[in-house]
A and B are shown apart, each in its own frame.
Chain A
Amino acid sequence: MPDAKGFRIVVATLALLGLAFLVFPVIFTGVVAFGGSIFIEFPPQSLSLRWFENIGRINRIWDATITSLYIGLITAALATAMGAAAALALVRSPLPGKAMLTSLLLSPIALPIVAIGIALIQFFILLGMAFTWWSLVIGHLVLVIAYPVRTVAAALTLSNPSLEEAGASLGASPWQVFRTVTLPQMAPGLVSGFLFAFLISFDNYPISVFLVRGELTTLPIELFNYISQNLDPTPAAFSSAYVAVVAALILLAERRWRIISLSIPR
């Protein structure tokens, strides 16, 4: 890249401003979370942990979190299994119409997200299975299945296909080749696909809002409701904890499986 000193300084300044824009809301939220005032105030006049304790007072927060965890894990597991199988077929098998099949599998992320919720609620009412736990899993699955398809396909494209031939030439049966060579090559894609599928399901509001009623509720729904009805910094405490957990998960996945390089489009 062009590298004269003045040029580098300008690029670095603009980039650091942009990165500040990216991280400052999170930092401010963290600071506000430790404030003592009942309203959002910056910088806080007094320090306190009361808003972290208050997280438990968010309406049905435990129920909603457990439901979201279950739905997220099951959705991510199903999406990863189905998406990985599909990616394997798309990358390694001689199939007709691959381009069309790929766009179909990836299209749910490109469509207006509300459309999935709206289409499904009408469909589930017709089927008589609206507002059930499984209807939520299905709704989330439609949205997130594209992520493992993408990450696993990226992992397979990056790996060397002659590795599988090497396995076969050394006496491994097709199943043994899959288990000992292909699967380890897919691992970073599986991990990052699962992680993103889970996080997106765990965080989903625009689909869930159409599919929940009465007893059935999820974490984003309750968090959203709390934010729209209260002005105290409890959500700030919750947000800080949330970002900390997400950061830990990403760091772990990157250290162990190098997931980041997979998500840079090639």
Chain B
Amino acid sequence: MQGASPRLTGFLLLAPALVFLIAFYLVPLGTMVEESLRSAPNDMDPRAGLHLFQYDRVWNSGRSWRALERTVRISAISTLLTLLVAYPIALFLFQVRAFWRTAILITIFVSLASSLIVRNYGWLVTLADAGPVNQLLLALGIADEPLRMVYSEGATIVALVHYALPFMILPIYGALTRIPPSFVEAAQSLGAGPWRALFGTVLPLSMPGIFGGTTLTFAICMSAFVTPLMLGSPATAMISQVAAEQFLVQLNFPFGSAMIVALTLVTFAILLAYTLLIRAVFRHHA
């Protein structure tokens, strides 16, 4: 861009997206936070003042507190499982020939681009009473009668891992491609076997990818809504569901808003602590 002022050109290019996000994203979010600080539902009187009353309710009402706690637990377990499933796939992608690499990447992309509802439905089918997993368990004699697997916390976690998998594989694979091959060769020339090279060299060097993938996965799981709605039950509700109820059923907007703000703050706090921890452990790497 060789204009009179590249800076002005840049600003004009950025302006539409920026103005749009300020008007329909930052301002509504601000309105939502303000709403959450109002004491009673539909209280639009500006003189009513702002309170932390709704946040007090989030902490002290059994259902919302349990949902928040469950959300953190499900997200942590799902993130760990996703990492365990994703890492060998990322390593494998790195090892195979170009043709298979492209084929696997396309599979991952199709999965990523397929409807979330469709994918969750796939788990409803797979884990159904007469579904393939139950058939397999019966055939192997592990179970005597079909197990009830759907509409549970376990089914939710399985579907979340499935949903988050591409978001974990791609950053780790990206990080692996950036490791200079000479590093691994150096480790091997110094006598490290493949397992030593993996845990001593490859794993620490792929840490940026692991960090990126786990952060993204955790954030995705914390905000999960459709998945627990389809594969869980009211007894295993995550916080987004409970908040949505306040809007769609109870019509208590301030309480629902408070739950979502609390969810955002908790997610942010956990990710911040995680970032600081990773930085402290790997500070001598960067």
Contact = CB atoms under 8 A, between A and B. Distances in A.
Direct contact of A and B (CB under 8 A): yes
B152 interface: no
A77 interface: no
Contact of A89 (B10, B175, B181): B10
Contacts of B16: 81-82, 85-86
B55 interface: no
B17 A29 contact: no
Nearest to A148: B17
A111 B247 contact: no
A14 interface: yes
B122 A28 contact: yes
Given A28-B131, A265-B209, A242 B115 contact: yes
Interface in B179-222: 181, 184, 188, 192-195, 197-198, 202, 209, 212, 219, 222
Interface string B81-94: 00001101101111
Contacts of B267: 112
A183 interface: no
Contacts of A149: 17
A184 interface: no
A7 B194 contact: yes
A21 B247 contact: no
B247 A2 contact: no
A12 interface: yes
Given A2-B195, A40-B125, A118 B247 contact: yes
Nearest to A121: B247
Contacts of B209: 265
Interface residues of B, number: 101
Contact of B121 (A29, A92, A95, A210): A29
Contacts of A254: 102, 106, 109
A206 B126 contact: no
A170 interface: no
Contacts of B174: 264-266
A199 B111 CA distance: 12
Q: Determine chain B's interface SS by DSSP, over half rule.
A: helix
B182 to A, nearest CB: 12
Interface string B1-42: 111001101110110111011001101110110010000000
B6 A94 contact: yes
B17 A243 contact: no
A15 B225 contact: no
Contacts of A1: 91, 94-95, 176, 181, 184, 202
Nearest to A247: B110
A209 to B, nearest CB: 7
Contacts of A39: 130
Given A21-B162, A142-B25, A209-B248, A118 B256 contact: yes
Interface stretch (A48-56, A58-66, A219-227): A219-227
Interface in B111-149: 111, 113-119, 121-126, 128, 130-132, 135
A88 interface: yes
A25 B6 CA distance: 51
Nearest to B175: A265
B121 A227 contact: yes
A2 B197 contact: yes
B165 interface: yes
Interface string A128-141: 00000000001001
Nearest to B128: A40
Interface in A209-246: 209-210, 220, 223-224, 227-228, 233, 235-236, 238-239, 242-243, 246
11 contacts: A26-B114, A93-B10, A95-B7, A113-B240, A114-B260, A199-B115, A242-B114, A264-B170, A264-B177, A265-B170, A265-B175
Interface of B: 1-3, 6-7, 9-11, 13-14, 16-18, 20-21, 24-25, 27-29, 31-32, 35, 85-86, 88-89, 91-95, 102, 104-111, 113-119, 121-126, 128, 130-132, 135, 161-162, 165, 170-171, 173-178, 181, 184, 188, 192-195, 197-198, 202, 209, 212, 219, 222-223, 225-226, 229-230, 240, 243-244, 247-248, 253, 256-257, 260, 263-264, 267
Given A123-B28, A242-B114, 20 more contacts: A2-B194, A11-B88, A18-B89, A28-B126, A85-B16, A86-B17, A93-B11, A108-B21, A110-B219, A112-B223, A114-B260, A142-B25, A174-B1, A196-B113, A202-B115, A203-B116, A206-B226, A210-B248, A224-B226, A233-B125
